[in-house]
Structure 1
């Protein structure tokens, strides 16, 4: 009976984890940057626990084999899916997270191993949030420091955002005043997704 309760708890955790994965594929997530990390690590910890606890069962051995095969297969195509998994479970390539207000937050990050840094804007509603815009970070730098990208050095491209303030928000764009390298400028991000009437 005790093992049954453990399996039921694990299945519930797995469903929550899978719901987060499905939400991510559709640009949604549960509210808060660390929420998906916590869900992921809890699922991972419970997976290790259940494999050790119930190792003698054939179903668990088969499940472990599937997990290992999945990891190996994710490494084969240039390791891109593997790096995506690594990014999902960790804070690697997440450089900055700034809360603009109770509804919006921005994140300066690199979404993939072969991607360039970008600014992602998230709108929060209840327990969910959705990425409504993404912009290459170099475009923001160009606007703020008033120089073309060709004249922005690699060191400058890694400069942090000193301040970010919400100026305006509507269904078409989000205006944010950035301060980078002691210079201020408003950048208008276009909304890629319109979800103001969703949820």
Structure 2
């Protein structure tokens, strides 16, 4: 009986971490440090859920919880599976198309977490416990009036300069080099 109490506490703790991560990302564009930490927590929760459900299957509340999870899965597939693929792409890490580590604990990554939307570029500042998204924008960079380059096709990136309001990055493509200035949305007074 005491082992089941420990299992409940561990499962609730992992579930609370996922809920905390979703709230931090949605409201403040902050996630746990590192790209893979969120995904590892998600996969631990996903693998622990069947064990948790099987351990407590005789309880009424666990049957209700199971059917709520099944209904959530079904309802995420009904609208052309868009929410399902969003969860799949973000949870598996296959939604990150390209990434580069720059100086000053900044990384540039191209992400595409939706099947119908265009990929987005994110500039992320790595912190000790949390990472902060400084900028999220379309991943195309204007070279001239008629030519746009996609950051996901870049071979490398280098930080040129950084200020409170902007970050200048030079992208190296197979046959081209392009320097662009990204306007940062970071709150300078927010200390994480």
C-alpha RMSD over aligned residues: 1.9
99-108 or 65-74, which moves further after superposition?
99-108
Counterpart Cα distance in 2 of 1:2 and 1:88:
33
Contact 1:120 1:134 in 2 (8 A): yes
Structure 1 unpaired stretches of 5+ = none
Select which of 131, 139, 145 maps to 1:137.
139
**Displacement of 1:158:** 8.4
**Displacement of 1:135:** 2.8
Contact 1:40 1:89 in 2 (8 A): yes
What is aligned with 1:180? 173
What is aligned with 1:7? 8
Select which of 74, 78, 88 maps to 2:80.
78
TM-score by length of 1: 0.86
SS of residue in 2 equivalent to 1:171: coil
TM-score by length of 2: 0.89
> Is the counterpart of residue 197 in structure 1 residue 189 in structure 2?
yes
What is aligned with 1:165? 158
Contact 2:90 2:113 in 1 (8 A): no
What is aligned with 2:93? 91
SS of residue in 2 equivalent to 1:78: coil
| Residue correspondences, number | 189
Moved over 4 A (4+): 156-159
SS of residue in 1 equivalent to 2:84: helix
Residues 147 and 119 (structure 1), Cα distance of their counterparts in 2 relative to 1, 3 Å cut: same
Structure 2 unpaired stretches of 5+ = none
Counterpart Cα distance in 1 of 2:106 and 2:151:
23
SS of residue in 2 equivalent to 1:115: coil
1:151-162 residue pairs with structure 2 within 5 A? Answer: 157=150, 160-162=153-155
Counterpart Cα distance in 1 of 2:9 and 2:95:
35
SS of residue in 1 equivalent to 2:153: coil
